[in-house]
Amino acid sequence: DVVMTQSPLSLPVTLGQPASISCRSSQSLVHSDGNTYLNWFQQRPGQSPRRLIYKVSNRDSGVPDRFSGSGSGTDFTLKISRVEADDVGVYYCMQGTHWPPQTFGQGTKVEIK
């Protein structure tokens, strides 16, 4: 199974400041079809998860443009350009290239300083 490793696991951020979360996979996530199926999910406190980013850098509907995804191969990053109070929660990367199983990272908890 592909192991997804996130860092940091806890990220205190000042409102209005940027934040960055790293996600590394134990093997390349480039699929034989040429696509890289790396997703980012957000889970706000007490809520169901929702996807923010698919295929490394594509934002889902309704996702603010302060969220961006980048990376390739085994190294990926989720960036929040200016953190807002609404961004508090846990962020997970998930790979859908080598499955089953689809595997999640451990999660990164974003909180306001």
Partner 1 sequence: QVQLVQSGGGVVQPGGSLRLSCAASGFSLNSYDMHWVRQAPGKGLEWVAFIRSDGSDKYYADSVKGRFTISRDNSKDTLYLLMNSLRADDTAVFYCATWYTSYAFDIWGQGTMVTVSS
- Residues binding partner 1 (CB under 8 A): 35, 37, 39, 41, 43, 48-51, 54-55, 58-61, 90, 92, 94, 96, 99-107
CB of 106 to partner 1, least distance (A): 5
The string of DSSP codes covering the chain is ---EEEE-SEEEE-TTS-EEEEEEESS--B-TTS-B-EEEEEE-TTS--EEEEETTTEEPTT--TTEEEEEETTEEEEEESS--GGG-EEEEEEE-SS-SSPEE---EEEEE-
19 vs 41, beta carbon nearer partner 1 = 41
Is the CB of 39 or the CB of 80 nearer to partner 1?
Answer: 39
